[in-house]
Amino acid sequence: MTRSTGRPPQPYRWPLSSFGGGAPARLGTLAEGPARSRPGYLPELVECTGKVLARSHAADLCFVGRSLDTMYDLLTGVLEGADRPGGLRRLPLSLRGAHTLGPVGRDRLRTHLAEAGLEPYALARRKRPLALVDVVSAGSTFDAIHGELSAWIAESREPWAVIRRKLRYVGVTIRGRSSPHQWRWQQSPESVRWVRTLPAGHVVNVSMHWRTWSWFGNEQPKLHRSFPPSRWFEPDAARARHHETLPQALAEARAVVAAGRTRETRRDLVRAMAAEPGFADREVRALAAAIRVP
pLDDT over 70 at 253, yes or no: yes
Question: 65-78 pLDDT, tens per residue?
Answer: 999 999 999 999 99
> DSSP string spanning 35-104?
--SS-TTHHHHHHHHHHHHHHTTT-EEEEESSTTHHHHHHHHHHTTT---SS-EEEE----TTGGG--HH
Which residues lie below 8 Å from residue 62, measured CB to CB, with a gap of 6+? 88, 89, 90, 91, 116, 117, 118, 130, 131, 132, 133
Report the alpha-carbon angle 227-229-234, nearest 5.
Answer: 70
Q: Categorize the per-residue pLDDT at 284 as very low, low, confident or very high, splitting at 50, 70 and 90.
A: very high
Q: Looking at the predicted structure, is the pLDDT value of residue 85 above 50?
A: yes
Q: Are 52 and 206 in contact (CB under 8 A)?
A: yes
Exposed / middle / buried, residue 29 (Cβ in 10 Å: 0-12, 13-18, 19+) = exposed
DSSP classification of residue 229: G
Check pLDDT > 50 for residue 2.
no
Structure confidence by residue, pLDDT tens digits, 201-239: 999 999 999 999 999 999 999 999 999 999 999 888 888
24: pLDDT strictly greater than 70: yes
CB 266 within 8 A of CB 258: no
What's the CA gap between 178 and 186, in Å, rounded? Answer: 15
Residue 142 Cα distances to 11, 39, 96, 139, 263, angstroms: 21, 29, 11, 5, 34
Radius of gyration of the chain (CA): 19
Q: How many CA atoms lie within 13 A of 77 on its CB side?
A: 23
Looking at the DSSP bridge assignments, the partners of residue 204 are 170
Can you give the pLDDT at residue 76?
Answer: 94
Whether 4 shows a pLDDT value over 50: the answer reads no
Mean of pLDDT over the chain: 90
Q: Is 205 exposed, middle or buried (0-12, 13-18, 19+ CB in 10 A)?
A: middle
Q: C-alpha angle with apex 51: 50 to 56, nearest 5 degrees?
A: 105
pLDDT digits (tens, 9 = 90+) for 137-159: 999 999 999 999 999 999 999 99
In this structure, what DSSP letter does residue 16 have?
-
Which of 3-7, 150-154, 265-269 shows the lowest mean pLDDT across its residues? 3-7
Measure CA of the first residue to CA of the last residue in the chain; give whole Å: 47
Mean pLDDT lowest among 56-60, 216-220, 249-253: 249-253
pLDDT of residue 1: 43
Ramachandran assignment for 21, one of left (phi > 0), alpha (psi -120 to 50 degrees), beta (any other): left
